[in-house]
Amino acid sequence: MDANVDHYHVLGLPSGEEGAKLTEKDISKAYRNKARELHPDKRPDDPNAHSDFQNLKASYEILKDDKARKLFDDLLRVKRDQQRRQEQRDGKRRKMVSDLEQRERDAFAPDPAAKAREEEERIARQLKEEIARIRAMLAKKGAPEAAASPAAKKTEAKSGGVGLEHEKILKVSWEKTGEDYSASKLRELFSKFGEVEDVVIKGGKKKGSALVVMANKEGAVNATGSMIGHLANPLLVVPLKPITKADSSSAPKAVEVDRINNLVGAGHQAFENSVLQKLQKDYATYGDIIQGIFLLMKP
């Protein structure tokens, strides 16, 4: 008889651990039922009827004998253990293959961090180009006003160099929709372009603005062309234009600018308000353009 034959299945009984628990009575009853079904007299036209009945009798004889049945149960247990080990090895092998394939996919997949850096650099580059374009448009629009007449130059000389001081002062504005800016934060940002003498903040509910006084004209020029601020809330940086019209109060204003580092308390606030009022008057024509800048910056 074939060693791979499961004698429990031949008798129509469950195999494995469940079959090992069957009694001799259960086995005899199953044999009688199966014998009536497979008897050659009931299958005269089946050429395999005789051999099937003989195999049934052989399986019954093995299961009926206690020693033979125990050896057969041990054989089935060894086969089950071997099958479980094989399934475990196959499972580990499949997992190793899956892990290897995943590592290969990860190796060739684009790095999310590198992709995010590239996207950030691209946006920053486009933003810088857009701000440069708008600044050039503003400079072109204000060029006629910036050309000082001889009388204005004479007035400036008498005022102690107010125009020179204006070239060191930058007007900074931003929308209060992202990260806000404090005086210390603005000083830290602009100090990359040179020494910062003072920072004056003028806050509003929807828009923040400030005056940043650089130590020299070169620092102001460099910051105007390069300062962007945070991408989540960009800065608009424009220079404070020289005074082009004679003003009877030009001398006091020159003294006021020279004292920009020494202002504290109420005097600091008065200076801030007066300068911002002057800026509002001088740059009233730029309001719509500046608003357009922030609309362009929003996603």
Q: What is the tens place of the pLDDT at every residue in 112-154?
A: 888 899 999 999 999 889 899 998 888 887 665 444 455 545 5
User: Mean pLDDT in the chain?
Assistant: 77
- Euclidean distance between CA atoms 140 and 205, whole angstroms: 31
- Structural fold of domain 7-64: Helix Hairpins (1.10.287)
Q: Return the CATH number of the domain spanning residue range 169-239.
A: 3.30.70.330
What φ, ψ does residue 203 adopt, rounded to 5°? -95, 155
From the list 21, 24, 17, the residue with the least C-alpha distance to 76 is: 17
Q: In this model, does residue 65 exceed pLDDT 60?
A: yes
Q: Residue 123 is encoded by which pair of tokens?
A: 């946006």
Cβ–Cβ under 8 Å, residues 149 and 223 = no
Task: Identify the residue with better confidence: 253 or 2.
Answer: 2
Question: How sure is the predictor about 4, in pLDDT bands with cuts at 50, 70 and 90?
Answer: confident
Q: In this model, does residue 49 exceed pLDDT 80?
A: yes
Task: Judge residue 38's burial from the number of C-beta atoms within 10 Å of its C-beta, 0-12 exposed, 13-18 middle, 19 or more buried.
Answer: buried
Domain boundaries, the chain: 7-64, 169-239
Helix, strand counts (H, E) of the chain: 13, 6
**pTM for this prediction:** 0.32
The 10s digit of each residue's pLDDT in 223-246 is 887 888 777 778 788 888 654 444
Angle at 48 between CA 45 and CA 51, to 5 degrees: 135
**Mean predicted confidence (pLDDT) in 199-217:** 84
CB neighbour list of residue 239: distance below 8 Å, 6 or more residues apart: 166, 167, 169, 170, 171, 220, 221, 224
